[in-house]
């Protein structure tokens, strides 16, 4: 940031130059309050927010993300770039990712379309060829012990990382070679973790490339999970419609009224609705912390929602 201050001296506009240098100075002062980087990383914003031109009101904000942030970025602009934080905050459900081979294991989460690395370990498993001076039997025995230790540590990390998080929809496991299958079939993984594993995939790579390959090869599984979630929430809406009709609303006029009163818990919108209306409803819902689900027409439940007006809502209270 000190280097950026030096660069900012070259800005031609005197007003802009002063605003940028002052904002960077305030940001530097704020960062000095942190002895170390927070566990999940840090996002810092600073700028002159004065409503009138020529006035100065430099503010600074720091935000610790709810999950680890994997992006390192600096931007000097006329607006704050919040897309990365929005993606992390708005996507409540996520999938666990585990990519491993006999040497390494990488653990991450998939939030929306973003892969967020969590942790990794490196094993001490020797190669398949024995060192000189060791018998083949002794070497094979030591290698088996090292592999088991590697699987045990990976299983412990999976439990530590995934079970403490709310919103875990499933775990995807992948990697080159057979060790991933040995891990999934072993007793090292606790029952709570094992029942969350929804797919095991053969991969060509590990590390970050392997994590992306795992997501790419699991598109069918992820799509099925998304459809299952859609069926579940629309099914809940239809059940309440038949048993407690006062706790649901459908049709644009009725739903807009309930939204404006802050009564909507979950807003259901058919993908067949026009984009402009969807954006308007999403904006209103965000003002009252109402969750929004875009429902496809690929399921019977999605077709039912489309046929009753394309818009439905599960209410917090009767209106």
pLDDT in tens, 118-132: 999 987 766 665 555
Q: 138 falls in which pLDDT band (50, 70, 90)?
A: confident
Domain end residue (candidates: 60, 89, 118): 89
- Residue pair 41/64 in contact by the 8 Å Cβ criterion: yes
Looking up residue 139, the CATH number of its domain turns out to be: 3.30.420.60
- Residue pair 60/75 in contact by the 8 Å Cβ criterion: no
Whether residues 6 and 81 fall in one domain: yes
From CA 107, how far away is CA 119, in angstroms rounded? Answer: 5
Mapping DSSP to helix (H, G, I), strand (E, B) and coil, where does residue 249 land? strand
Whether residues 178 and 99 fall in one domain: yes
From CA 286, how far away is CA 229, in angstroms rounded? Answer: 21
Whether residues 174 and 103 fall in one domain: yes
Whether residues 17 and 99 fall in one domain: no
Domain end residue (candidates: 46, 69, 89): 89
Looking up residue 85, the CATH number of its domain turns out to be: 3.30.960.10
| Full domain range(s) for residue 120 | 91-217
Q: Is the pTM of this model over 0.85?
A: no
Mean predicted lDDT score pLDDT of the chain: 87
What average pLDDT does the segment 282-292 reach?
Answer: 89
Overall number of domains in the chain? 3
Whether residues 26 and 65 fall in one domain: yes
- Residue pair 169/95 in contact by the 8 Å Cβ criterion: yes
Domain end residue (candidates: 178, 194, 217): 217
Whether residues 23 and 117 fall in one domain: no
| pLDDT single digits (tens) 70-110 | 678 888 888 888 877 876 665 567 899 999 998 899 999 98
Does residue 144 carry a pLDDT above 90? no
């Amino acid at each position: 940031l000190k280097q950026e201050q030096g660069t900012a001296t070259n800005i031609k506009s005197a007003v802009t130059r002063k605003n940028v240098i002052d904002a960077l100075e305030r940001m530097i002062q704020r960062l000095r309050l942190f002895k170390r980087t927070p566990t999940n990383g840090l996002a810092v914003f600073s700028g002159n927010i004065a409503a009138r031109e020529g006035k100065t009101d430099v503010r600074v904000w720091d935000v610790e993300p709810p999950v680890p942030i994997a992006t390192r970025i600096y931007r000097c602009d006329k607006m704050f770039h919040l897309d990365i934080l929005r993606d992390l905050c708005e996507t409540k459900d996520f999938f666990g990712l585990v990519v491993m081979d006999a040497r390494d294991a990488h653990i991450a989460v998939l939030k929306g379309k973003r892969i967020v690395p969590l942790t990794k370990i490196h094993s001490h498993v020797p190669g398949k060829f024995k060192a000189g001076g060791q018998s083949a039997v002794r070497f094979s025995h030591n290698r088996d012990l090292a592999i088991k230790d590697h699987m045990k540590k990976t299983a412990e990390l999976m439990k530590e990382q995934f079970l403490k998080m709310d919103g875990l929809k499933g775990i995807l496991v992948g990697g080159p070679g057979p060790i991933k299958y040995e891990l999934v079939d072993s007793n090292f993984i606790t029952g709570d973790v094992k029942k969350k594993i929804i797919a095991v995939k053969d991969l060509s790579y590990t590390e970050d490339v392997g994590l992306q390959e795992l997501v790419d090869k699991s598109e069918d599984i992820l799509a099925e999970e998304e459809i299952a979630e859609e069926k579940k929430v629309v099914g809940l809406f239809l059940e309440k419609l038949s048993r407690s009709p006062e706790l649901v609303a459908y049709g644009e006029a009725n739903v807009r009224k309930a939204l404006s009163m802050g009564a909507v818990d979950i807003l259901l919108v058919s993908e067949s609705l026009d984009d402009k209306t969807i954006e308007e409803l999403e904006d209103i819902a965000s003002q009252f912390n109402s969750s929004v689900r875009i429902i496809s027409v690929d399921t019977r439940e999605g077709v039912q929602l489309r046929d009753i007006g394309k818009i439905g809502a599960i209410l917090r209270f009767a209106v």
